[in-house]
Chain A
Amino acid sequence: MKEQGQSPDGAEPRTGSNGCEEFVQAERRRWMAAVDQRLLGGAMRSIAKRGGTAGSAALAASVPKVAFANGGAPTRDILVFVMLRGGMDGLSLCVPHGDPDYAWQRGNLAVPGPGQLDGVTDLDGFFGLSQAASALLPAYQEGDLAFIHNAGSTDPTRSHFDQMKFIEGGVPNQGATVVTSGWLGRHLASTAAVDPAASLRGVAIDYTSPLTLAGGPKTLSIPKLPQFKFGGYAHTVSDRKALLGGMYDRETSALRSSAQSTLATIDVLGTIDFLNYAPSGGAVYPVTEFGDRFKKAAALIKADVGVEAIEIDRARWDHHDDMGPINGRLAIMLEELSQTLAAFRTDLGALMGNVTVVALSEFGRRVDANGADGTDHGRGGCMLVMGGNVNGGQVIHDWVGLDPLMLDDLALPVRVDYRDILIEILTERLGNAGAAALFPNHSTFTDWNIVR
């Protein structure tokens, strides 16, 4: 395990009042030792992997890596980012069945262990994959998918909207009230386009525009890619586009750049036959809005028009009430999420070698169930990273156990900083040597060796 004080930004679980500090620290050390014992199968393996790859120094705080893994030309993956809005319960997805403090706190919301009815599929002896998410097993077993547990933002807020703002803006723990650009937008702004002729570098397949992409050049939100066509009389299209371009060029701010990107992108997307797109490899996407958006994203990637970043959000994870992690509401959503990601991977096939998918939520949920068969807002959650160059087949974490004493005010503490995961991916897979600077005032970097 990492030593105390090396967690992201030094953020520690709450220690209560000062008078209790020493007692709590002692208790923590005791539990850390116990947890180490419990986790010989899980955590130790991932730690060994970290140590083995990056050297022992990587266990301590280190500076961002700038060299590319193979010393060759920068790899420029397409990043598909999924914001799971509402607070996805990571404990019901990647279930810590080996933690003795899981089941009793979750009560009838606990997902059963391996071998039991509706039980999880064991992943590493400690964590197991929910049956609802079993579509993700092949990706995990074939090494393309990693789960990252007790991950998230180090900011303590349990507000959906503040935490989303901090995560998407890349500015946790900074008390920022106004955030105008996102980490992914800044990434696009700070790197040269992969395809200099591209008219669209970043796209959110959605109506409203996520903060993550804000500030990025040549970015748009497009809810329906097949219908992105210019109406009106066909023979005057170019004249009317020119007129609109002139009028909107006089605008300042977001309206102008959106109009420019829109006008430049119409013809590009018009060449792609989204409606007749046939997925490869027998991939079957769920017939839902989310599934369909991934299907459209696959078509867009295969069309190779220079898009570098795609955001597809899925909301409604805020299960305060009637959560249903086994066969209820949450299970249905986990099923959709996993079947979608699995279909996308199958569909892209070898192209996954140049695609990285990252999914995360603004926070996980409290360990204890509330009185409405739901769970309230927590802290640490579970990220998913999938791609052909992901060091998959493992659950990465820095587990301290679910004993209430070890929790962050009744929730899983955040001990893997989502920024570190993103920095590594942006550096290694998206060719941004300055990725760390996309997250201002984030000085301590931990290398989790998530991608090759």
Chain B
Amino acid sequence: MTTSESPSVDGTNGPGPDVSAADVTCSHPSSPSVAQPTRRTVLLGGAALAAAAGSAGTAAASVGTGTVAAPQGQAPGLASRSAWILGRASYGVTPEMIQDLNARGIQDWLDWQLVPDSIDDSDLAVHLTPFDWIDQSVVEMWNHPTKSGRVIGYEARALRLIRATHSKRQLFERIVEFWTDHFNVYGSADDLWLLKIVDDREVVRQHAFGKFRDLLQASAKSPGMLEYLDNATNVVGAPQENYAREVLELHTLGVDGPYTEADVRELARCFTGWTYWRFIESPTQYGEFRYRPDRHDTGAKSVLGIDIPAGGDLSDAETVLDHLANHPSTIDFVTTKLAKWLLGYEPPAAAVDAAKATWVATDGDIRKIVRTLLSPRFLQQTAPWREPKLKRPLHWVASLHRTTGITMGDPVGAVLSLASLGHTSFDWHAPNGYPDIEEAWSSLLIWRWNYAASFSQGLEVTLNHTITDLRALLGTVPMTGWAAHLSQLMTGGTMSREDVSDIQAYLDGIGVPSDEAVAEAFELVASSPSFGRY
């Protein structure tokens, strides 16, 4: 762990640094030197983005090369050396985000992101119209007039990518992804196609910024979880321990936590009778939680030193879950994992400790725990050039799409692209969720490179843009400035200076700003290690 030697950035509670202060203390040793653009170029850059975004549909089809011009030699987007902070709290840094950051300052930007309901997300709404089932119950989706459960399931995976790409509630979406893995429910089988969709909406998204206890209790009663980890068939007399084990090992205490095999079995007894309504049992209540007293073990139990008296009911397990929710081992395990998600594979102990203290002080308020971890002091200590993380495929694809403004013409097809990269949402079968370590993903570079190539040539079958649309994003920037321009456009200028200069040298070798050169410029930036990092 490398720690910052600069003490100038305040911690969580003090007044935060403004962006310029962060700029001074957090200068990226290898960030490219680009001209400081003006606010006007931001707007122009935004227009260029809109052109590209619209090109997938109809509105901006007429906007072609040169129609939208950025001032020569200037990159779109205000340069901000703090852009990397945005990278840690989003699916990719756009010029618009840098505007927001510069307008608000880093502390305010983070606070703003932590209240997603306050963020106007109307731009996302236009992308949601295909998903007519978005607020429906399992029964309603089951009775959908035109879509099978599997089709709705595919659309739900596309929706994850669309939200990651287009929502302005970027930090919220990142935290949703974290809980999606933490409380993993495989969603590609039988009833789970629909049950996972409701789990995503009513457990993960509902509680992602709430109290951990509420998230845990909701997950335990989620029909998706009950089906996936088999508690739906956990009955008195011959309990089965699948969920009871994983809730201890993966959701709360952690595998090194203070529990025994006996605790697993006793907890399994507590959960007997927790199930959900099958279609065959009730076509109108299908997919809702159901507690069956006739299947509950009412004997006395002892779990983790807690004596559960005989004669209990649903409250047996609820009592244990409440105990688990704020157990010191849970706090340690979950906070550390969250710190790794946000701050790097080896987060500083001080950050974990501070977040644990926040957990204790706030009764496990996830919003406040995240806020503590994302204090500028810890962000600075774990800046990407100190603690680089590798974008997982969903993150990487979303980065590419959102920073170029590309809209998916066929969202469901785009899910197949994500499958080729190994990272379809709701599709990890083991209960531990998709891994978040570099070694798990680093072998898959060639699939990213190939996606970058087909994307850049306009050949990706699920996307409707052309090379002409990408050329519009270059404006009138001379070819000698393309690499730096794209670093600015696609990463907020956070690519390493060396990567930018290598790509520029390659482009200089081409010399002529042909369509092929345009495509390769985008391809190489997207394929570069520093675009893949955050």
Contact = CB atoms under 8 A, between A and B. Distances in A.
A316 interface: yes
Interface stretch (A190-198, A235-243, A332-340): A235-243
B241 A377 contact: yes
B52 to A, nearest CB: 20
B319 to A, nearest CB: 23
Contact of A247 (B241, B249, B423, B498): B498
B511 interface: no
Interface in B423-467: 423, 429-432, 435, 438-447, 449-450, 453-454, 457
B520 A247 contact: no
A250 B529 contact: yes
A82 interface: no
Contacts of B255: 157, 159, 161-162
Interface in A88-110: none
A20 interface: no
B450 A321 contact: no
A247 B499 contact: yes
Contact of B261 (A231, A257, A409): A409
Contacts of A321: 230, 233, 240, 242
Given A232-B453, A246-B502, A251-B529, A159 B245 contact: yes
Interface in A343-377: 369-372, 374, 376-377
Interface stretch (A39-47, A144-152, A220-228): A220-228
A259 B498 CA distance: 17
Nearest to B256: A177
A153 to B, nearest CB: 15
Contact of A371 (B237, B454, B519): B237
B230 A374 contact: yes
A254 B388 CA distance: 12
Interface string B505-529: 0100100000010011001100111
A372 B503 contact: no
A230 interface: yes
B390 interface: yes
A66 interface: no
A32 to B, nearest CB: 25
Interface stretch (A21-29, A73-81, A206-214, A426-434): A206-214
Contact of B440 (A208, A224, A233): A208
Contacts of A232: 449-450, 453, 457, 520, 523
Nearest to A372: B233
A308 interface: no
A255 B445 CA distance: 9
A248 interface: yes
B422 interface: yes
Contacts of B519: 233
Contact of B429 (A180, A221, A250, A316): A316
B162 interface: no
A35 interface: no
A247 B234 contact: no
B427 to A, nearest CB: 11
Interface string B230-250: 100111111111100100011
A77 to B, nearest CB: 24
Given A254-B439, A320-B230, A374-B230, A243 B506 contact: yes
B489 to A, nearest CB: 19
Interface in B322-345: none
A244 B530 CA distance: 11
Contacts of A243: 502-503, 506, 524
Given A239-B506, A320-B230, A231 B453 contact: yes
A158 B238 CA distance: 18
B520 A208 contact: no
A315 B241 CA distance: 19
A10 to B, nearest CB: 21
Contacts of B498: 247, 250
Interface in B222-278: 229-230, 233-242, 245, 249-250, 255-256, 261, 264
Interface string B276-312: 0000000000000000000000000000000000000
A255 B442 contact: yes
A266 B446 CA distance: 9
Contacts of A247: 498-499, 502-503, 528-530
A209 B509 CA distance: 37
A255 B528 CA distance: 11
Contacts of B420: 224
A381 interface: no
Contacts of B256: 177
Interface in B53-92: none
B239 A371 contact: yes
Nearest to A244: B527
Contacts of A209: 439-443
Contacts of B229: 320
A49 to B, nearest CB: 36
A86 interface: yes
Interface string A257-291: 11100100010000000000000000000000000
Nearest to A209: B443
B230 A248 contact: no
A230 B451 CA distance: 10
A322 B232 CA distance: 12
Contacts of A266: 446
Nearest to B434: A208
Contact of B240 (A223, A224, A236, A370): A370
A230 B449 contact: yes
B430 A372 contact: no
Interface centre among B264, B431, B444, B532 (most CB of A within 10 A): B444
A370 B445 CA distance: 44
B529 A371 contact: no
B449 A207 contact: no
Contacts of A38: none
A371 B240 contact: yes
A221 B240 contact: no
Contact of A255 (B238, B435, B529): B529
Contacts of B245: 158-159, 377
Given A161-B249, A207-B423, 4 more contacts: A157-B255, A209-B439, A223-B447, A372-B235
20 contacts: A160-B432, A161-B249, A162-B255, A209-B443, A224-B420, A233-B520, A243-B524, A244-B449, A247-B502, A247-B503, A247-B528, A248-B445, A254-B442, A255-B390, A255-B438, A255-B442, A258-B442, A320-B240, A370-B238, A377-B245
Interface of B: 229-230, 233-242, 245, 249-250, 255-256, 261, 264, 390, 420, 422-423, 429-432, 435, 438-447, 449-450, 453-454, 457, 496, 498-499, 502-503, 506, 509, 516, 519-520, 523-524, 527-530, 532
Task: Report the 9 A-B pairs with minimum CB-CB distance, sorted nearest first.
Answer: A371-B238, A207-B422, A372-B233, A221-B443, A232-B453, A231-B453, A370-B240, A231-B450, A258-B442
